[in-house]
Amino acid sequence: MLITRIITALILIPLILTATLWMSPIYFSLITCVLILVGAWEWSHLIGLTKNISRIFYVVCVAVGCFFAAFVPENVTLMIAAVIWIWAFFAIVSYQQKGSGAGFQYPVVRSFVGFIVLIATWVSIVTLKTDPDLGPNWLIIVMLTIWAADVGGYFAGRAFGKQALCSLVSPKKTWEGFVGGMVFSVIVAAVSGLFLSLSLPHYFAFLGLALVTALFSVVGDLSVSLLKRMTGIKDSGKFFPGHGGMLDRLDSIAAGMVIFVLGALWLV
């Protein structure tokens, strides 16, 4: 499994870097939207939709939402999504402590949440790519920061993990892995942030933003795990060999990216 994950990552990383750095904004936006719609197809399963026509309708709704979101100030979309991710955090805590999901147990709520966060993920990625004050370098750095939290958490958890972080939601995640992920994420952000030519105060603000981004990336990961737990689904799909479905790759990015872009727009 680990070898498969590594091979898949080695193939994906050059493709992502190439698209981020050199693809035109319009093609980048379209390809990103297609990937988001793959995530929407998988999310429709987490809602409880089983008929293909119902799942296709949900995907079309997300596609239409992405189209209209292009004409709405990005701050509006991202703020709504940020509130939903905070709600998701409380849903995780509620499920862990009381066995309830703070509303996430209802299919209509999961449908609404997916609609918003998938659109917001697309908006946040495209904003980083196209905003004149930010640009591709910022997009690469936030992806590195989020991936570092995931990779650091995985290896720290394997090496030192003993105390479960959220046993009812994701039994394999540990506090030791969580801390390791945060530390590695901040280290990666500290190094990569040197290439952004920030003033010293802005650099430290950037590190704080990177830490919050990493924290929310874990919330995103656990949120999708919560939905899978509620619906009895192990993997959201099989899009990436060794990595599961598109949502299994988008979950941490979806939450972390929204928070990062909100902070970055204020920072610059």
For 41-98, what is each residue's pLDDT tens digit?
999 988 988 899 999 999 999 999 999 998 999 999 999 999 999 999 999 998 888 7
**Tokens found for residue 231:** 């619906």
Domain that holds residue 185: 2-267
DSSP 50: -
Instruction: Please name which of 146, 128, 124, 147 lies closest in space to residue 137, comparing C-alpha atoms.
Output: 128
Number of structural domains in the chain: 1
pTM (2 d.p.): 0.89
Cα gap 247→213, rounded to integer Å: 18
From residue 257, alpha-carbon distances to 67, 72, 101, 102, 147 in Å are 19, 18, 24, 23, 11
Q: How many CB atoms lie within 10 A of CB 230?
A: 19
List, for residues 182-238, the tens digit of each pLDDT value: 999 999 999 999 988 888 999 999 999 999 999 999 999 999 989 988 887 776 656
